[in-house]
Structure 1
Amino acid sequence: MFERITEATFDEIFPLLENNFPENELREKERQKAMLQEPLYGLYGTRRDGGFAAVFAAWEIADFLYIEHFAVKEEYRNGGYGGKLLDAFLAEKSRPTVLEVEEPEDELTRRRIGFYERHGFVYNGYPYLQPPMRRGQDVLPLKLMTKPAAIDETTYKRYKKLIHSNVYRYEGDL
């Protein structure tokens, strides 16, 4: 169901990432492609009607899975397809999961948080700053959602430190 993306299929799937994430939440194309060499990182796609319909970018860090990106092509949204894919992906990985979301400031961000909550994620209110994805950008205020349960402050700090150092190569204290 999930095809591991390689350098040969990267150019086919990158537009799905590019069309679904703002510039401050996505690396430049060549830097994103270079991530395929990272041992903890995996980029996965699922095909429908001859092309990629969804993409997952995930990191298997220590004892948890960190989902960096998840996107479904627009024509396949709002019919349960994305939820089925998310559930199947998480079942396949079978480990506690962490992802970042924007704060619930408008209808779209509230709907996104609601989607993840319907699939077993819990919104954690700890202050979280995402290090810049591209040079010259500022930090991005986000929140962490976790599955299967909320996390305590000690676990939050451990997850944040591991995500920042492995994913963003950031060693400072945000």
Structure 2
Amino acid sequence: MFERVLTKDDFEKVYPILAQSFPETEVRAKEDQLALIENECYHLYAIKDEEEKTGGVIAAWELSDDFLYIEHFATLPEKRNHGFGGKMLDLFVEWNGKNVVLEVELPEDALTRRRIGFYERHGFVWNDYPYMQPPMRKGQEPLPLRLMTKPTALDVETYERYRSAIHQNVYRYTKEDLGRVNK
């Protein structure tokens, strides 16, 4: 069901799913995303359907012994609203066995509320701590988001530890940069 993307050819099959599923502010430039497959903490997976065709993608970071950060999760448009994505998300979380953290947009319209509802139906919990996603590309501004976690909500100490690990490893910012982003 999950096939790790390890080569440029594999990457070329899954990157279009990321590019069409996320706004430019939430995905790296193609060459920057490709460079990540060399990082030992980053794991990019093609999600295969029952016919062994790529139907989606999960990009995740193993940042500590106790949690996994899902940076991107997307399915092809024709796979949406049929249970494929939810089933794959549940299998992935179970397969990994760690606490899971992901970022979501603020619930400002019907689409963002629907996305949050999807994650809630799959056991994720909204954490109401202010969170700023550092820019994914040079020249962009930080993006106000929230963290959702599974299986439980985070206390403030754990939230700060997870947020710091995500920012320092995923976004590769210095502590000085982090101070500016989180204000």
What TM-score results when the alignment is normalised by the length of structure 2?
Answer: 0.93
Question: Does 90-99 or 7-16 show the bigger shift?
Answer: 7-16
Structure 2 partner of 1:128: 131
Q: Does 1:33 align with 2:50?
A: no
Q: Does 1:55 align with 2:81?
A: no
Task: Please state whether the residue corresponding to 1:82 is helix, strand or coil.
Answer: helix
What does 1:27-106 correspond to in 2, within 5 Å?
Answer: 27-48=28-49, 49=51, 51-62=53-64, 63-106=66-109
Task: Please state whether the residue corresponding to 1:126 is helix, strand or coil.
Answer: strand
Q: Does 1:4 align with 2:4?
A: yes
User: Which one-letter code corresponds to 2:63 in the other structure?
Assistant: I
2:104 and 2:13 map into 1 onto residues whose CA distance is 26
2:5 and 2:125 map into 1 onto residues whose CA distance is 29
Shift of 1:17: 0.4
Shift of 1:70: 0.2
- Alignment identity in percent? 56
Structure 2 partner of 1:113: 116
1:141 and 1:104 map into 2 onto residues whose CA distance is 11
What TM-score results when the alignment is normalised by the length of structure 1?
Answer: 0.97
User: Which one-letter code corresponds to 1:6 in the other structure?
Assistant: L
Query: Which consecutive unaligned segments of at least 5 residues does structure 2 have?
Result: none
Shift of 1:47: 2.5
Write out per-residue CA displacement over residues 109-168 of structure 1, whole angstroms, 9 at most, x where no aligned residue.
001000000111000010000000000000000000000000011111111100000000
Equivalent residues, number: 174
User: Which one-letter code corresponds to 2:159 in the other structure?
Assistant: Y
1:68 and 1:18 map into 2 onto residues whose CA distance is 13
The two structures, once aligned, show a CA RMSD in angstroms of 1.0
User: Which one-letter code corresponds to 2:95 in the other structure?
Assistant: E
User: Which one-letter code corresponds to 1:2 in the other structure?
Assistant: F
Structure 1 50/90 Cα, relative in aligned 2: closer, same or farther at 3 Å? closer
